[in-house]
Amino acid sequence: MSLPPEFRPADTGVIHDIGYRGYTGPRLGRGYAARSLFTQSLRAAYGLGRSGKSKVLPMLVLGVATVPALIIVAVAVVTGVDKLPVDYAQYLSSIGLVVSIFLASQAPVLFSRDLRHHTVPLYFSRPITRTDYVRAKFGAMACAQLLLMLAPLLVLYIGSLLVGLKFGDQTAHFFYGLTAAVLYALVPTSVAVVIAATTPRRGFGVAAIMGYLAVSTAVVGVVIGMASTTVGFDEPLPTYPQWAVLLSPGGLVESLTNELFDLGSGTARMHAPGGLGLLVFTLVAVAMVAGSYRLLLRRYRNV
């Protein structure tokens, strides 16, 4: 039985026409999303688009890596030398600690933060795949490392031309340095990003990466130092301690570059021992990068 009108509840539901229309414009798709993730990650590695304090360490490291190159160029201009006091590839090995600090501090920024804040599933709700995510993040960290090392190399190269050093010789050695920079941007970075992707805690990631790079470098330094005491100052190191360099990603790159381009001299010179060593060191470098990439893919398969 229906209620009289005065006892019926008032109708409060109202439909408003707000003019909503579905999106009919172009859809940029998966490729654009992956490129955007790469660009955003590269900017994040230098603190761009983030708070002011996030920019302090990356920019400080960039300055520390570049200022010595400026000083070398300034001294060369004043003294009128006919050769730079340090080769391009050797300069990169001399700032290895600075590069390691940048890598250890910024790799967790790209990987650990997404895990901690549970934003990774949000990326996968869009057109990009897990492979796209890994490729974009890995590429962004490698490019950030490359840019860090490219800055002082360009300063040295442009400065050498201003001094009036031979264009052909300086260009060839700049290419040696650029090759070393690419290897540094791939080999140590590949290990660091795998470590960063294993923990959502940025502090743990920083400590683990820095610890691995520092300990492996120290072990190689001890082995090389002990071996150098058994030979003369100008004599090359024996072959056997050179194989210990395989324990350190940075030492691996330095030895590979020295052997490829015949750089360095004296007892402290690390190099891949001969043709067999060059082959083994190259295969280890390739395996380290490819293996780390595969481990990253497996890591994000379960996220």
- Tell whether the torsion through CA atoms of 282, 288, 293 and 294 is positive or negative: positive
Gyration radius of the chain's alpha carbons: 26
Closest residue by Cα to residue 264 from 93, 99, 71: 93
Closest residue by Cα to residue 103 from 257, 212, 198, 176: 212
What does the pLDDT read at residue 21?
74
Question: DSSP letter string over 251-290?
Answer: HHHHHHHHHHHT---STT-----HHHHHHHHHHHHHHHHH
Query: Token pair for residue 71?
Result: 């000083």
What does the pLDDT read at residue 212?
93
Query: Token pair for residue 83?
Result: 């050769």
Q: Is the pTM of this model over 0.75?
A: yes
- The tens-digit pLDDT sequence of the chain (303 residues) is 555 655 555 556 666 667 777 767 777 788 888 899 999 999 999 988 878 888 899 999 999 999 999 999 999 888 878 888 889 999 999 999 999 999 999 999 999 888 888 888 888 777 888 899 999 999 999 999 999 999 999 999 999 998 888 899 999 999 999 999 999 999 999 999 999 999 888 889 999 999 999 999 999 888 887 877 776 556 666 777 888 889 999 999 999 998 898 887 766 678 888 888 899 999 999 999 999 999 999 998 877
Please tell me the distance from the alpha carbon of residue 57 to that of residue 51, in angstroms, as a whole number: 12
What does the pLDDT read at residue 163?
87
Give the burial string for 50-78 (b: 16+ CB within 10 Å, else e): eeeebeebbeebbeebbebbeebbeebee
Query: Token pair for residue 194?
Result: 């795998």
What does the pLDDT read at residue 253?
93
Q: Classify 262 in phi/psi space as left (phi over 0), alpha (psi -120 to 50) or beta.
A: left
What does the pLDDT read at residue 195?
93
Closest residue by Cα to residue 244 from 273, 266, 267, 264: 273
207-213 long-range contacts, Cβ below 8 Å, gap at least 24?
A: 209/103, 209/104, 209/107, 209/108, 210/100, 210/101, 210/104, 213/100, 213/103, 213/104, 213/188, 213/248, 213/249, 213/250
For tokens 């030895």, the residue is 255
Task: Give the type of residue at 291.
Answer: G
H or E element in which residue 221 lies: helix 202-228
Q: How many Cα neighbours within 13 Å face the side chain of 61?
A: 24
Please tell me the distance from the alpha carbon of residue 107 to that of residue 142, in angstroms, as a whole number: 10
Q: How far is CA 87 from the centre of its chain?
A: 22
What does the pLDDT read at residue 7?
57
What does the pLDDT read at residue 235?
66
Please tell me the distance from the alpha carbon of residue 217 to that of residue 223, in angstroms, as a whole number: 10
Query: Token pair for residue 163?
Result: 């001094």
Task: Give the type of residue at 247.
Answer: L
Cα-flanking dihedrals φ and ψ of residue 82, to 5°?
A: -100, 5
